[in-house]
A and B are shown apart, each in its own frame.
Chain A
Amino acid sequence: MDWTHDTLVAVSKSWGLFYLIGLSIAVLIYALWPSNRARFDDAKTSILTEDDTPEQP
């Protein structure tokens, strides 16, 4: 296929839209997925409780 300016315009104007809509949906699903709530809550509070040495393996 010849990769011309018109091809680029066509791709941007059609698939670009669906790609970004798809991405938004994926992000919303990931952020709002119920089973992710526990790890998000844990991450959000855990930075406040840390002490000042790394965890030993």
Chain B
Amino acid sequence: MIAQLSVAERQLALVVLGLLALAGLAMTVAGAVNGDLIAVHGLIVLVFAAVLMFVVGQGYYAPEPSPARLAQYYDDPTKVGIVLAMIWAVIGMFVGVWVAALLAWPELTFVDQAWASFGRIRPVHTSGVIFGFGGNALIATSYHVVQRTSRARLPGQFSPWFVLLGFNLFCILAASGYLMGITQNKEYAEPEWYADIWLTIVWVAYFVLFLRTLQRRKEPHIYVANWYYIAFIVVVAVLHIVNNLALPASMGEYKSYSLFSGVQDAMVQWWYGHNAVAFFLTAGFLGMMYYYLPKRAERPIFSYRLSIISFWGITFLYMWAGSHHLHYTALPQWVQTLGMTFSVVLLVPSWASAGNALATLNGAWTKVRDDATLRFMMVAAVFYGLSTFEGSFMAIRAVNSLSHYTDWTVGHVHAGALGWVAMITFGSFYALVPWMWKQSRMYSPKLVEVHFWLALIGTVIYVFAMWNSGILQGLMWRTYGESGGLAYSFMQSVEAMHPYYIARMIGGLCFLLGAIVGFYNIIMTIRMSRQGTQPDARDVPTARADQVLVAGE
């Protein structure tokens, strides 16, 4: 893969990696002087940079790549991104099953160590699946979609790698930091200041790369999927920067302090938190849906105009919805009402998108029945519709008084994360992997089918368990006895949760098994292409009889 980089790009890569290694060294030294854990992260950065320098060095003296490459799309980063996403999926979901099991059986920490406690491994699960799995999937598919819909190659071969690998370094720093207790205690924004600065650099490079590709486009109109990807990139940058404004205690320590305090800090955090759901977990994946679903169904999107209207609706309404996370708090009442109102109105563009996807499939139901890949996307659109309805409903203050702090919220998040985000990703991957590795189909369509049913059953078990436990919990907390005291103690509500926690773990386990099956299937498809079996004639532009592979070649 290094051979695909021009010599100038290889030099640039070495310089950037050298600077990164220096930064890692500085963090190590400063941390060692202060006796601070930042030294461990410095070492991780140093090793990461050194390994990549070695990889670049290995291919450094390869000849300059042929100019013929410029007549092809640049798909290597997409391929690596798909594999990285699946690795993170398996790690993140495994940790998820583990923390779910911990809630049912608290002794399952196995080792009596701080790193294995619930509070430290839970964020490894959330960041692992959202950023590791979701983020890599978004980067990988965005590279593919923007090139195809613009009919233009990525502008260079260095920056796609910088963005992809730099983002993964951020994910590694995040996950390893949580295990050591390094966190700024903000939901979905736990990594500390140095990791945040690094992600900002990576993200700006991503934005520039995306815009430069669009600038090179040969199509007059920018296809709607790209708009969603742009919204994802731009808004996540804004959210990330504002929510992570903080002052480090010193340059040699990991600890930092937020610039905001009290209720302002809470408001900024949930403005970030809800828009992370909106723009990380929704806008980007809608971009995926608007490309891969019509492609796989071989039907154009039902209404292109509707997709534009819902795009602007989602972009401008979500921005104001975050305060519904802070009902009944010190946040001014009118801000809570504002967030609630916008959350309810959001149902309109959300259902417009879900309906648009389902209407696209209308007339292709036989395909949905026969093709598990398309069925993944169809179920994703259904869950998108369901969970956005549920979200709008739960944002209503009176409903929130029952649902807040209960497992209902956890169930809602997973209806979105498993049912929508993961399903659309798996569907897109099953469509994309054979295209990327030039195969006519996945290694085993049967295993895609197995994955589909495991994922669907897992999601349904999970969501139903959490609905039951959440509503039960909420009701137990607000039931009063005749004397006006609470009818149940908190511990009684915890005991009542036990069967649901076991059910939830089983649901999560099914989902994890599905992801492992999917990963195996993808790896075997890649091996199939390596062994040269099943070359796909469609994708070979200049097929000549004498170039046809013979069996076993």
Q: Within B300-322, which residues are at the interface with A (CB < 8 Å)? A: 300-301, 304-306, 308-309, 312-313, 316
A29: min CB distance to chain B, Å: 11
CB of A46 within 8 A of CB of B316, answer no
CB of B304 within 8 A of CB of A41, answer yes
Report the Cα distance A27→B220, complex, angstroms. Answer: 19
B334: contacting residue among A9, A20, A28, A47, CB under 8 A:
A9
CB of A47 within 8 A of CB of B223, answer yes
CB of A35 within 8 A of chain B? no
CB of B304 within 8 A of CB of A40, answer yes
Known contacts A20-B316, A44-B301, A47-B223; A54/B294 CB under 8 A: no
Known contacts A48-B295, A53-B73, A55-B152; A43/B219 CB under 8 A: yes
Report the Cα distance A46→B76, complex, angstroms. Answer: 24
In the complex, residue of chain B having the shortest beta-carbon distance to the beta carbon of A56 = B71
CB of B305 within 8 A of CB of A52, answer no
Report the Cα distance A42→B219, complex, angstroms. Answer: 10
Q: A residues within 8 A CB of B304? A: 40-41, 43-44
Q: With contacts defined as CB atoms under 8 Å apart, how many contacts are there between chain A and chain B in the complex?
A: 77
CB of A48 within 8 A of CB of B300, answer yes
CB of A55 within 8 A of CB of B148, answer no
Q: Within B200-218, which residues are at the interface with A (CB < 8 Å)? A: 218
B298: contacting residue among A23, A31, A48, CB under 8 A:
A48
Q: Within B326-357, which residues are at the interface with A (CB < 8 Å)? A: 332, 334, 338
A9, A28, A43, A50 interface centre (most CB from chain B within 10 Å) = A43
Known contacts A43-B219, A47-B294; A54/B309 CB under 8 A: no
CB of B151 within 8 A of chain A? yes
CB of B291 within 8 A of chain A? yes
CB of A14 within 8 A of chain B? no
CB of B149 within 8 A of chain A? yes
CB of B221 within 8 A of CB of A39, answer yes
Q: A residues within 8 A CB of B435? A: 52
CB of B159 within 8 A of chain A? no
CB of A45 within 8 A of chain B? yes
CB of B153 within 8 A of chain A? yes
In the complex, residue of chain B having the shortest beta-carbon distance to the beta carbon of A43 = B221
CB of A54 within 8 A of CB of B153, answer yes
Q: A residues within 8 A CB of B489? A: none
CB of A31 within 8 A of CB of B294, answer no
CB of B224 within 8 A of CB of A43, answer yes
Interface size class of A (residues with CB under 8 A): 20 to 34
Q: B residues within 8 A CB of A30? A: 308
B323: min CB distance to chain A, Å: 12
CB of A7 within 8 A of chain B? no
Report the Cα distance A45→B301, complex, angstroms. Answer: 8
Q: A residues within 8 A CB of B218? A: 54-55, 57
B138: min CB distance to chain A, Å: 18
CB of B6 within 8 A of chain A? no
CB of A23 within 8 A of CB of B312, answer yes
A42: min CB distance to chain B, Å: 7
Report the Cα distance A55→B299, complex, angstroms. Answer: 23
Q: B residues within 8 A CB of A12? A: 334, 338
In the complex, residue of chain B having the shortest beta-carbon distance to the beta carbon of A57 = B218
CB of A54 within 8 A of CB of B147, answer yes
A55: contacting residue among B72, B151, B312, B332, CB under 8 A:
B151
B309: contacting residue among A5, A28, A47, CB under 8 A:
A28
Q: A residues within 8 A CB of B298? A: 48
CB of A2 within 8 A of chain B? no
Q: B residues within 8 A CB of A56? A: 71
A30: min CB distance to chain B, Å: 7
Report the Cα distance A9→B331, complex, angstroms. Answer: 13
CB of B539 within 8 A of chain A? yes
Q: B residues within 8 A CB of A41? A: 304
In the complex, residue of chain A having the shortest beta-carbon distance to the beta carbon of B345 = A20
In the complex, residue of chain B having the shortest beta-carbon distance to the beta carbon of A36 = B305
A53: contacting residue among B224, B312, B541, CB under 8 A:
B541
CB of A1 within 8 A of chain B? no
Report the Cα distance A40→B300, complex, angstroms. Answer: 11
Q: B residues within 8 A CB of A23? A: 312, 316
B-to-A contact residues, CB < 8 Å: 71-73, 147-149, 151-153, 218-221, 223-224, 291, 294-295, 298-301, 304-306, 308-309, 312-313, 316, 332, 334, 338, 435, 539, 541
Q: A13-B334, A23-B316, A54-B151 are in contact. List 13 more A-B contacts (CB 8 A).
A: A20-B316, A27-B313, A42-B220, A44-B301, A46-B219, A46-B223, A47-B148, A47-B149, A47-B295, A48-B298, A50-B148, A54-B152, A54-B153
A-to-B contact residues, CB < 8 Å: 5, 9, 12-13, 20, 23-24, 27-28, 30-32, 39-48, 50-57
Nearest 7 A-B pairs (CB), nearest first?
A55-B218, A55-B151, A44-B304, A27-B312, A40-B304, A44-B300, A31-B305
